[in-house]
């Protein structure tokens, strides 16, 4: 199976858009664009496959008002 | 020899309109069960303070596990804020994007879990996991 490449993926460049997708899964294209979203990994991926959007990497957007502690 | 990943910068709003950025060690992984692999990779956070690997429950569904409680080992988990989470563990595998190996790992699933976490039970598959904060990158030493 052909593997994806992540060399262009830069979540920092998507920071303004991420605010709209907190707690959701987003699918990011090889061109670093958000191409689909969903409440679950499966839902987001289904949208990608339905529209034949090519290779993506998924990311679950965390709440953006907080830093993390273990 | 190893795998290098740049940290990903995430905005933190802290309830304010303006944001600061924090760099986090996310790496792209696949989840693998006996019958299925997640078709696309997803980002999971390397967390040296976590004992276990814990993922949101919908990732279990993506590899054919319909009920995370079925045939699972239950272990409650607590964070530093003392918030406890019910976690159900399954013997599965993880594959890091760019690496050939499938890493057999006990993986916990929890409902309402917002960040896929790779704790130290994942780290043990590597000779070393090196966080280079100045360069904002992490190396998984093979």
Q: Is B42 helix (H, G, I), strand (E, B) or coil?
A: strand
Distance between CA atoms of residues B41 and B5, nearest Å: 14
pLDDT beyond 70 at A4:
no
Q: What is the ipTM of this complex?
A: 0.94
pLDDT beyond 90 at A68:
no
pLDDT beyond 60 at B91:
yes
Distance between CA atoms of residues A17 and A33, nearest Å: 10
Residue B136 to residues A7, B7, B76, B92, B139, Cα–Cα distance (Å): 15, 5, 32, 30, 10
pLDDT per residue as tens digits for the range A6-42: 778 999 999 999 999 999 999 999 999 999 999 999 9
pLDDT per residue as tens digits for the range B31-83: 999 999 999 999 999 999 999 999 999 999 999 999 999 999 999 888 767 78
Report the candidate in A57, A55, A58, A59 with the shortest Cα–Cα distance to residue A1. Answer: A55
Tell whether A52 lies on the interface with B, counting CB pairs under 8 A: no
Tokens found for residue B29:
């992984």
Mean pLDDT of A46-69: 91
Q: Which residue carries 């090889």 as its tokens?
A: A30
Q: Using a CB-CB distance cutoff of 8 angstroms, which residues of chain B are in contact with residue A62?
A: 10, 114-115
Q: Using a CB-CB distance cutoff of 8 angstroms, which residues of chain A are in contact with residue B48?
A: 70
Q: Using a CB-CB distance cutoff of 8 angstroms, which residues of chain A are in contact with residue B8?
A: 9-12
Confidence at residue A8, expressed as pLDDT on a 0 to 100 scale? 86
Contact between chains at B97 and A65 (C-beta distance less than 8 A): no
Identify the H or E element spanning B87.
strand B84-96
**Average of per-residue pLDDT values in chain B:** 94
Candidates B42, B54, B60: best to mutate against A (most CBs of A within 10 A) is B42
Report the candidate in B60, B1, B58, B50 with the shortest Cα–Cα distance to residue B25. Answer: B50
Confidence at residue B66, expressed as pLDDT on a 0 to 100 scale? 96
pLDDT beyond 70 at B110:
yes
* Intra-chain end-to-end CA distance of chain A, in Å: 35
């Amino acid at each position: 199976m052909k593997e994806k490449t992540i060399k262009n993926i830069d979540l920092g460049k998507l920071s303004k858009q991420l605010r709209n997708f907190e707690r959701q899964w987003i699918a990011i294209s090889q061109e670093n664009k958000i191409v689909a979203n969903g409440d679950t990994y499966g839902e987001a991926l289904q949208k990608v496959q339905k529209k034949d959007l090519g290779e993506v990497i998924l990311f679950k957007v965390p709440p953006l008002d907080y830093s993390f502690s273990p | 020899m190893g795998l290098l990943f740049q940290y990903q910068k995430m905005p933190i709003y802290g309830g304010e309109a303006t944001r600061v950025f924090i760099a986090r060690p996310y790496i792209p992984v696949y989840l693998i069960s006996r019958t299925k692999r997640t078709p696309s990779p997803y980002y999971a956070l390397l967390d040296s303070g976590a004992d276990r690997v814990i993922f949101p429950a919908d990732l279990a569904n993506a590899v054919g596990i319909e009920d995370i409680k079925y045939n699972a080992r239950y272990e409650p988990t607590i964070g530093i804020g003392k918030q406890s989470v019910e976690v159900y563990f399954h013997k599965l595998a993880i594959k890091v994007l760019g690496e050939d190996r499938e890493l057999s790992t006990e993986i916990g699933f929890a409902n309402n879990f917002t960040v896929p976490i790779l704790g130290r039970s994942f780290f043990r598959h590597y000779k070393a996991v090196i966080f280079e904060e100045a360069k904002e990158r992490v190396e998984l030493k093979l």
